Amino acid sequence: MRADAPVATGCVAAIYVIRHRTEGLAHVRLALTELMAMVQHLVVVTDGAALAQTASALRDLDPCGRLRLIRCDRDRSILSAYRAGLRALEASDAPRGPVILTGYHVFGPILPGGWRRLQTDADLLAPYWYKAADDPRLQTRPDMPARLPCLDMAILSADLLDDPEMARFWDRLPPFTDSWDEVERGLVPLARALGRSGRRIAYALPEDSLHTVDPRHFEVDRLVALGAPCLPVSVLTLDPLLHDLNGIDLRAALDRLRGLNPALYHAVIAFACARVPLRAFTTIADQYEVLSPHYPSDRATWGFGPVAVFIHAFYAQMMPEFWERIARFPMPAHLFITAALASDKMAIDAFLDARGWPTAERTVRVVEQNRGRDMSALFITFRDVALSGDYQIGLRLHSKRTPQVSPQVARGFKAHLFDSLLPSAAAIRQILDRFEAEADLGLVIPPVIHLGFGTLGHAWYSNRPAVADLSASMRLAVPLDDHTPVAPYGTMFWFRIAALRPMFERPWRWEEYNPEPDHVDGGLAHVQERLIGYVAQSGGFRVLQVMSPEQAARNYARLEYKMQLFAARLASHHLLDQLAQLDRLADTWPQRIHRRLRAGYGLIIRRFPAARSRLRPLARGISRLLAPGYRG
């Protein structure tokens, strides 16, 4: 943008599109609030199904009656909605002048007051473009423009609005069936109409600054770095595989956005939490961190005060192992410890006395019973502490044994948890600094365990229906992942207590948990383990997965080896072809029957956990018959 270019303060009207029940979303209200402050006329276009809700949701934004709400039911395309808004402006008493086109489908403006910084000396100002010259589907078209202007946040000049060529474009606008149809039969004719009438198209970014065919998605990090006015909402809903195949760096965009416009950043996170499955978001936004043993900090206090460290020491003899980690704490902490027996409580107190841990900084309680194990010990026994308001950050640890697997695998699982969450004082400072700097960080967990465990792709086991039921009863309006939930497997984690407040507020009862020894999938304890991440998500909090460098290297090496084994047995080297082949293999009738029987088996065990020992041999036999090689 030239230093002397006119800016968008001259815009007299704006058209804002709202679809898909988005009227109450934070980024929509932010954009409308800014538009109301700078234009004389604001037309909001929505469909008939959402008209009443939209009017109710936006009433408080328009005390002076300058916002006009109209409906457009022709199709759900943005261009059709823009046309309806422009016709509404033509029929009103609004003076002619530059008009802003935008809507719910973008996050913006990225900079507060961002529309006022846009130049308006062009006939059409677009935020970015679609590079038609590089798309093989469009290259063969005659007279194809090199770029198609994306109208995500565009400004049309008054002269362009009066152009007969543009009037014909809007009159001939066809109904659209999908987003590509809107590009092919909407943006292409628009660019040609502008070219025929000699109109000047300008962009908010230098035309040599972006290099991919669809930079609004593929170069989202550069959009923010270069000062683009907005980001497309659809970058959050793209398949994670498309993020991978196109090298999209969403985390860099979000990290920069957090500093540029905190209110918009939190609106983006709120949208992601409400609409994007947790594993998809943690993947596309790279919510993983390798903790550094050389983190450059000697900090000893944080603004959130002492950390509440909740330890379930069912095996009290593990206190020396806990102490090895407690001794690394760089922060003030209060130890909240649960024990199974009164004698264990006495032993724990004596152990801490011997090591000089102050009595005033510890609370040791005996659990009423062991139903629910470490889950009930946290959410029932220490409910009062979590709800007291005395602590903001918590750490959950317990004396994990995992007796159902071999001792070596069990030791590896425990190391995976302890070494990921508490590898060093420097790494702990790194976690605590993140909690202090990022108010939307709610949960810090190790990644899903896969060394020695068959969790990859199947980690719901029999818990998903129960999680869905519990999620509905707790009114958690978040989408559940299809295959493997983002969860603190092994139930050790750092957390912002506000993020898990619904877990502590719910009045869990001891009798809701399976009695010992029937601690099975589908029981409340396993369900709570897989619910924790979604509770945090429902409150608008992010989940971050962390590892030490040693754990990251070990896990990556074995994960890559397993993936190489799978991929090498498939016909194609391309991921999408491989998935298509696997989908075909999974769609045979024995596999379909096998999946249904496994779901039924899980439901029976959930309702009658004591039947597991009798039914499991039969279930394994049927599985081997329908799926040869099955080792479940």
CATH of the domain at 320: 3.90.550.10
Cα–Cα distance for residue pair 171/153, rounded to 1 Å: 21
Judge if 606 and 466 occupy the same domain.
no
Judge if 423 and 544 occupy the same domain.
yes
CB atoms under 10 Å from CB of 65, counted, come to 6
Contacts of 265 (CB under 8 A, 6+ apart): 254, 257, 258
Cα–Cα distance for residue pair 592/585, rounded to 1 Å: 10
Give domain status of residue 236, yes or no: no
Contacts of 236 (CB under 8 A, 6+ apart): 250, 268, 271, 272, 275, 276, 281, 284
Q: What confidence score (pLDDT) does residue 2 get?
A: 34
Give domain status of residue 258, yes or no: no
**Which pTM was predicted?**
0.90
Judge if 145 and 204 occupy the same domain.
yes
Q: What confidence score (pLDDT) does residue 20 get?
A: 78
CA 469 vs CA 83, 463, 464, 474, 609: distances in Å: 43, 10, 9, 9, 18
Q: Among 182, 211, 240, where does a domain finish?
A: 211
Amino acid 627 reads: A
Judge if 550 and 579 occupy the same domain.
no
Judge whether 539 and 503 are in contact, CB under 8 Å.
Answer: no
The torsion defined by the Cα of 553, 557, 560 and 565, in degrees rounded to 10, comes to -170
Q: What confidence score (pLDDT) does residue 631 get?
A: 64
Residue 260: burial class (beta carbons within 10 Å; 0-12, 13-18, 19+) = middle
Give domain status of residue 225, yes or no: no
Give domain status of residue 3, yes or no: no
Q: Among 510, 528, 557, where does a domain finish?
A: 557
Judge if 466 and 591 occupy the same domain.
no
What is the phi/psi pair of residue 136, to 5°? -60, -20
Angle between helix 524-538 and helix 464-473 axes, rounded to 10 deg: 50
Give domain status of residue 125, yes or no: yes
Q: Which of 196, 159, 176 is nearest to 82 (CA)?
A: 176
Give domain status of residue 221, yes or no: no
Count of the separate structural domains present in the chain = 3
CA 267 vs CA 308, 498, 501: distances in Å: 29, 18, 21
Amino acid 596 reads: R
Judge if 584 and 552 occupy the same domain.
no
Q: Which domain holds residue 39?
A: 8-211
Judge if 352 and 457 occupy the same domain.
yes
Judge if 339 and 476 occupy the same domain.
yes
Give domain status of residue 175, yes or no: yes
**Which residues pair with residue 483 across a beta bridge?**
none
Judge whether 626 and 597 are in contact, CB under 8 Å.
Answer: yes
Q: Among 510, 532, 557, where does a domain finish?
A: 557
Q: What confidence score (pLDDT) does residue 519 get?
A: 61
Judge whether 25 and 233 are in contact, CB under 8 Å.
Answer: no
Residue 554: burial class (beta carbons within 10 Å; 0-12, 13-18, 19+) = middle
Cα–Cα distance for residue pair 482/585, rounded to 1 Å: 19
Residue 379: helix, strand or coil by DSSP? helix
Q: What confidence score (pLDDT) does residue 1 get?
A: 33
Judge if 484 and 588 occupy the same domain.
no
Judge if 537 and 452 occupy the same domain.
yes
Residue 232 is encoded by which pair of tokens? 């497309």
Task: Spell out, as residue ranges, where the chain has pLDDT lower than 50.
Answer: 1-7
Give domain status of residue 284, yes or no: no
Judge if 517 and 575 occupy the same domain.
no
Residue 341: helix, strand or coil by DSSP? coil
Judge if 540 and 575 occupy the same domain.
no
Residue 363: helix, strand or coil by DSSP? strand
Q: What confidence score (pLDDT) does residue 346 get?
A: 97
Amino acid 280 reads: A
